[in-house]
Amino acid sequence: MTAPLPSGAGVAALDRAGLEDWLARRGEARFRASQIVRWLYARGVATYDEMTDLPAALRGALAEELPLTPLVLEHRAVSRIDDTRRYLWRLADGATVESVGLPAGDRLTVCFSTQAGCAMGCSFCATGQGGLSRDLGPGEMAEQVRRVGEDFGRRVTNAVAMGQGEPFANYDATLGALRLMNDPDGLGIGARHLTVSTCGIVAGIERFAAEPEQFTLAVSLHSAVQETRDRLMPGVRTQTVSRLRAALASYAAATGRRPSVEFALIAGVNDTPAEVDALVRFCTGLLVHVNLIPVNPVPGADATRPDAAARVRDALVGAGVEATVRAERGVDIEAACGQLTQRHAAGEA
Give catalytic residues, as residue numbers: 98, 337
CB of 210 closer than 8 Å to CB of 254: yes
Instruction: Give strand ranges (E) for the chain.
Output: 72-78, 85-90, 96-104, 107-111, 115-117, 132-135, 158-161, 194-198, 216-220, 260-265, 289-294, 323-325
- What type of residue sits at position 22? W
* Partner in contact with 182, chosen from ligand SAH, ligand SF4, none, beta carbon below 5 to 8 Å by kind: none
One of 11, 95, 97, 199 touching ligand SAH (CB under 6 A): 199
Measured distance CA(282)–CA(182) in Å, rounded: 32
Residue 198, interface with ligand SAH (CB under 6 A)?
yes
Write the DSSP symbol of residue 331.
G
Give which of ligand SF4, ligand SAH, none residue 264 binds (C-beta under 5 to 8 Å, depending on kind): ligand SAH
Among positions 285-314, residues that touch ligand SAH (CB under 6 A) are 293, 295-296, 298
Pairing state of beta strands 107-111 and 96-104? antiparallel
Indicate whether 124 belongs to the interface with ligand SAH (CB under 6 A).
yes
| Binding test (CB under 6 A) with ligand SF4, winner from 36, 120, 295, 321 | 120
How wide is the angle at C-alpha 302 spanned by C-alphas 299 and 307, nearest 5°? 100
Say whether residue 330 binds ligand SF4 (CB under 6 A). no
Contacts (CB under 6 A) with ligand SF4, residues 158-217: 164-166, 199
Least gap, CB of 166 to ligand SF4 (angstroms): 4
Three-state DSSP class for 323?
A: strand
262 contacts which partner out of ligand SF4, ligand SAH, none, CB within 5 to 8 A by kind?
ligand SAH
Q: Which of 125, 209, 219, 333 binds ligand SF4 (CB under 6 A)?
A: 125
Number of residues that bind ligand SAH (CB under 6 A): 16
- Three-class HEC string of 260-315: EEEEEECCCCCCCHHHHHHHHHHHCCCCCEEEEEECCCCCCCCCCCCCCHHHHHHH
247, interface contact from ligand SAH, ligand SF4, none, CB < 5-8 Å by kind? none
Handedness of CA 161, 165, 171, 174 (dihedral sign): negative
Judged by the rule CB under 6 A, the positions of this chain that interact with ligand SF4 are 118, 120-122, 125, 127-128, 164-166, 199, 220, 338
Judged by the rule CB under 6 A, the positions of this chain that interact with ligand SAH are 124-125, 162, 166, 197-199, 220, 262, 264, 293, 295-296, 298, 337-338
